[in-house]
Each structure stands twice: as structure tokens, then as C-alpha cells.
Amino acid sequence: MSGLLRRRPEGFAWLLLVLMVAGLLSFGPLCVRGTGDASASVGEADVAVRQAFNATLDAERAGANVSGLILRLNEAGGILVEAEMALGNGNSSEAASKAGQCIGIAESVKGDADVLKTSALDEAQTVFWTSLTFPVVGIAVFVAVLVLVWRRFKRGYVRKMLGLKPEVAHDEA
């Protein structure tokens, strides 16, 4: 190397230049890829939070108590905002890390929401059949009792009518 430097200094300068350009070309895509990866991660986190919210909404419509899930979604939303800000400030590694954290929470919320939805649907079905059975039985008993009372009342009424003595009325006019 020192021989080359002594013998052909221009050649060495060219070699250095080529190496520098090659280094820059290989580093450039790495930087771009780093930002691109972080951007993709933040995008994935955004989608994960939306999906988690949709699952939470489905669980709520099924009748589940989603208070805990909403708290965790707020946590995920806050982290997502931090990830977006880090990305905007050019801090790709922090953006990617925050996005990963956000995806983790969102996926766990989605999983829990699905479980809650299933159990809420089962519970709702039980409640529905219970609410249907008791009134049907109650109505049947009530109507039967009412018919019996009516028959008894009717019999008593007729007997009472038959037992009445005719009265003779005088026409004053």
C-alpha cells in the first residue's frame, strides 16, 4: 500500500475516491431502508390500532364491558402518536421501537376483545332464553288462573241470577 502511494499518488487518490463513493452508495440505501422500515412499522401500528378498535366495538355491540380495552387502546394511541412524532423528527429507531410497542398492545387488545365478544354472545344467549322462558311460563300460568277464576265467577254469577226472585212492578201510569 505504501509502495502504491509512493509510486502512483494519483492512482491512490482515485482508489480512495472510488471507495468513498462505493461506501456512500452502500450506506445511502441503508439509511433510506431504515426510514422506510420505520415508516412501514408506524403504518402497521396504525392499522393494528384500527383493527383493535373494530374488535373492541364488536365486543361492545355483543354486550361486553370494554372499559379495560378502551384504556389500553388509549395507551396504544398515545404510543402511536409518539412513534409518528419520532418518525417526523427523523428518529427511525425510536419510531420503529414505539411502533412495535404499539402493535403489541393493539394485538393483545384485539385478542382480548375477540374473547370478550364470544363470552358476551354466549351470556347474551343465556339471558335471552331465560328472559324468554320465564315470561312464557308466567303468562301461561296467569292465563290459566284467569280462565279458572272467570269460569268460577261466571258460574257464581249465573247461580246468583237464577236465585233472584221476580218482583211485581206496578205501573203507576
Partner 1 sequence: MMKLEDYKVAFAAVGLVGVLILASPTLGLVLHLPGGERFSELWVLGPGHMAEDYPFNVRENESYLVYVGVGNHMGSSTYYVVYVKFRNQTEPLPDALNGTPSVLDPLLEYRVFLRDNEVWEREVLFSFEGISFEGNFCRVSSLVVDGCVLNVDKSAVWDEENSGFYFQLFFELWIYNGTVSDFQYHNRFVWIWLNMTVSI
Instruction: Give contact residues for partner 1 (rule: CB under 8 A).
Output: 49-50, 53-54, 56-57, 60-61, 66-67, 70, 73-74, 77-78, 80-81, 84-85, 127-128, 131-132, 134-136, 138-139, 142-143, 146, 149-150, 153-154, 157-158
Tell me the closest approach of the beta carbon of residue 115 to partner 1, in angstroms: 17
Tell me the closest approach of the beta carbon of residue 60 to partner 1, in angstroms: 5
Tell me the closest approach of the beta carbon of residue 138 to partner 1, in angstroms: 4
Tell me the closest approach of the beta carbon of residue 28 to partner 1, in angstroms: 25
- CA 132 → CA 92, 119, 123, distances in Å? 58, 20, 14
Pick the closest to residue 73 from 109, 41, 116, 44 (CA basis).
109
Nearer to partner 1, 84 or 112 (CB): 84
The Cα 94–Cα 102 span in angstroms is 12
Nearer to partner 1, 15 or 44 (CB): 44
Angle at 137 between CA 131 and CA 138, to 5 degrees: 85
Pick the closest to residue 102 from 59, 34, 36, 51 (CA basis).
51
